[in-house]
């Protein structure tokens, strides 16, 4: 496996990661069952996420950039950057003695430090953000923890002068193991992406108040143009049409509806960038499964939709709504003619 022009994503084992000896690694995420930082990875930011891997063992999610990069740190944010792109990550434990809900405090600090890093390093545009918080559906301090997270994220972004609607990054927010830290990792750039919404869904930042007093701040997808390459970041996508969850309790129907939503996003992305030809079969996907027993049904649906050679990682994680059983995110790279 060799470096290619533009951003590139690989899902590999530790052994494959070590054997590849890629010189252009921008950042890495690992998941439960994966070892810690690999030998020789000094300076590479590694987000260690506490979500069990299903249908496999150790998994390294490796983002490469096709060029040399340099590492740095700003506060608690570890990052690696090129001229145009930055990968960063931060992990914060919730402090039980804080004056407000510990998750609100941790989320506020994480996003303040992320925004301060991007300001200091001059990468103004968040492209894609991954958020992992323990016990996402549990109530504490009189409110669901996912709603606490949304409130704190929104306040921190507003305080940093960033938009809360429209030009906001693709993102996911999933549950992680109890007592694990809040982990956020992200990609940012110096060039603004194209922000893509799904015509089948209400934009998340316009959800009605029944889902919380502070709406989630993310676009359904973002589309980044680099020299010679287009990259599509698809946010965590589930069985939601309009703003309502569909097919409650039916894992097969939820998976099919989720894939229809992703197909709709691909169509919107291909229209937004007329030279693009994103397709289901070319996506690299992470699939979050609430109930491990549902895995065979989900695998069967994805095999039919993506093909047997698809790059897919399955993780056990709680979804942001308790009635959702599966969530799928994707990334696609499309070369452009010279």
Active site (catalytic) residues: 327
Task: Decide: residue 241, CB within 10 A, 0-12 exposed, 13-18 middle, 19+ buried.
Answer: middle
Separation of alpha carbons 193 and 195, rounded Å: 6
Separation of alpha carbons 71 and 80, rounded Å: 4
β-bridge mates for residue 87, sequence order: 80, 187
CA-based max dimension of the chain: 57
Q: Which long-range contacts (CB under 8 A, 24 or more apart) does 267-270 make?
A: 268/196, 268/197, 268/198, 268/199, 268/221, 269/196, 269/221, 269/223, 269/232
State how far Cα 47 lies from the chain centre: 12
Task: Tell me the Ramachandran region of residue 26: left when phi exceeds 0, alpha when psi lies from -120 to 50, beta otherwise.
Answer: alpha
CA-nearest of 326, 320, 287 to 136 is: 320
Separation of alpha carbons 55 and 281, rounded Å: 20
Residues 315/112/105/326 CA torsion (nearest 10 deg): -20
CA-nearest of 236, 247, 211 to 289 is: 236
DSSP per residue, 289-300: ESSGGGHHHHHH
């Amino acid at each position: 496996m060799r470096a290619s022009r533009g951003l590139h994503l690989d899902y590999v084992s530790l052994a494959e990661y070590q054997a590849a000896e890629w010189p252009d690694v921008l950042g890495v995420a690992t998941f439960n069952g994966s070892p810690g930082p690999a030998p020789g990875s000094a300076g590479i930011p590694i987000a260690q996420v506490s979500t069990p891997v299903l249908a496999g063992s150790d998994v390294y999610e490796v983002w490469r950039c096709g060029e040399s990069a340099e590492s740095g740190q700003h506060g608690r944010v570890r990052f690696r950057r090129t001229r145009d792109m930055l990968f960063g990550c931060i992990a914060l434990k919730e402090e039980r003695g804080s004056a407000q809900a510990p998750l609100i405090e941790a989320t506020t600090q994480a996003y303040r430090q992320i925004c301060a890093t991007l300001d200091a390093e001059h990468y103004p545009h968040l492209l894609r953000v991954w958020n992992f918080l323990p016990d996402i559906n549990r109530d504490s301090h009189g409110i669901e923890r996912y709603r606490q997270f949304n409130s704190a994220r929104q306040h921190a972004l507003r305080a940093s002068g960033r938009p809360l609607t429209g030009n906001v990054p693709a993102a996911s927010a999933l549950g992680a193991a109890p007592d694990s830290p809040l982990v956020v990792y992200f990609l940012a750039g110096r060039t603004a992406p194209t922000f893509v919404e799904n015509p089948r869904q209400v934009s998340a930042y316009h959800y009605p108040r029944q889902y919380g007093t502070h709406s989630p701040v993310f676009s359904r997808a973002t589309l980044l143009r680099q020299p010679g390459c287009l990259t599509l970041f698809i946010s965590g996508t589930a069985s939601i049409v309009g703003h309502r969850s569909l097919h409650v309790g039916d894992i097969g129907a939820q998976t099919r509806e989720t894939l229809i939503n992703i197909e709709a996003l691909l169509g919107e992305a291909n229209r937004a960038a007329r030279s693009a030809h994103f397709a289901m079969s070319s996506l690299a996907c992470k699939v979050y499964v609430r109930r491990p027993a549902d895995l065979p049904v989900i695998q069967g649906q994805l095999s039919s939709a993506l093909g047997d050679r698809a790059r897919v990682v399955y993780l056990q994680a709680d979804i942001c709504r308790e009635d959702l059983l599966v969530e799928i995110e994707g990334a696609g790279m499309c070369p452009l003619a010279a």
